[in-house]
Amino acid sequence: MEASSPTTAGPPPGLIRQRTRRSVGEQVIKALLALAAVISVLTTTGIVVALIRDTVKFLQEVGVSDYLFGTEWTPLAGGDQQSFGVVPLIYDTLYLTAIGLLVAVPFGLGSAIYLSEYASPRFRRVVKPIIEVLAGVPTIVFGYFALTFVTPLLKDTLGIEVSTFNALSAGLVLGVLVLPTIATVADDALASVPQSLREGAFGLGASRMQVSMRVVFPAALSGVVAGIVLGASRAIGETVIILVAAGQLANLTIDPTEQMQNMAAFIAATSQADVSTQGTEGLTIFAVGATLFLITLVLNAISIRFVRKYRQVYE
């Protein structure tokens, strides 16, 4: 990022002439390009405004504490059954993410250490792109896989009493989804540790495992953590796997064989359901969207911080 060299900033000062028609044209072009770059800022502003506007309306109707601390999430139920406590939805989101990370962190980091410390350059050149392919598979495919392969596998082959829609298979597949993210970011971090550190450790008689675990891994820790945080934020925001395989019920349970619903899947399901756009039910997607946006924003800020840290040390 720091690489923008002075040559890209325009002609040297001595060559700048007085305003001609040509230089006016140059200014117009620059303004148009800047305008395009501003679209990305407008996108963020748009997201924030859209979320805040209707979330405020929602909170005025429901009440901040009922939303944040209520333990019943049944916004689409009628009458007395209707309740807007977001706790189960957040709980389910984090629960599913935790199952995913239990799969993705050990296997993702294991893959990264192998690729960066053990694999030959040729092996790495072939294998890394294949892992990246896994990251490019549309999530609807993972949803199908969870519903029609993993759930029957758990139930019939492994004898675990899971319901048709359950948190366990959705969470496991969520892990497969974020594994490549964690593996590639961690691999980049490990590979950027200077060779001299490894050579120093080898010179002192350390084995390859000791070099990997006691020298390279700690040296790359901030980059590794950034990868895990990035993976977590992807798992938290995932919609379709949960929608297809985990069910439609925000459930405050510790039993992974039951159904669950995360925030993103709730938003998608509710916008497909026939909900009046003016009622409190219609506003829920904005309130839940704002909550989700805030969580991923914080995680991303943490991840950027960690990435900066390891860049500063070694580049």
181-200 residues near another protein, rule: CB under 8 A:
183
Least distance (Å) between residue 53 CB and another protein:
8
Sole window of 76-84, 137-145, 220-228, 249-257 interacting with another protein (rule: CB under 8 A): 137-145
Nearer to another protein, 107 or 311 (CB): 107
Of the candidates 60, 69, 82, 106, which one interacts with another protein according to CB under 8 A?
106
Of the candidates 7, 18, 195, 276, which one interacts with another protein according to CB under 8 A?
7
Contacts of 216 by beta carbon, 8 Å cutoff, 6+ apart: 113, 116, 117, 190, 193, 197, 198
Which two structure tokens, joined as six digits, stand for 60?
A: 């005025």
Q: How big, in percent rounded to 5, are the helix, strand and coil portions of the chain?
A: 75, 0, 25
Hey, which residues between 21 and 40 contact another protein (CB under 8 A)?
A: 22-23, 25-26, 29-30, 32-40
Of the candidates 69, 82, 208, 218, which one interacts with another protein according to CB under 8 A?
208
Is 157 one of the binding residues for another protein (CB under 8 A)?
no
Sole window of 3-11, 75-83, 94-102, 216-224 interacting with another protein (rule: CB under 8 A): 3-11
Residue where the block lists tokens 């829920």:
284
Check: CB of residue 150 under 8 Å from CB of residue 115. no
Hey, which residues between 232 and 291 contact another protein (CB under 8 A)?
A: 233, 236-240, 243-244, 264, 267-268, 271-272, 285-286, 289
**C-alpha to C-alpha distance for 76 and 285, rounded to whole angstroms:** 12
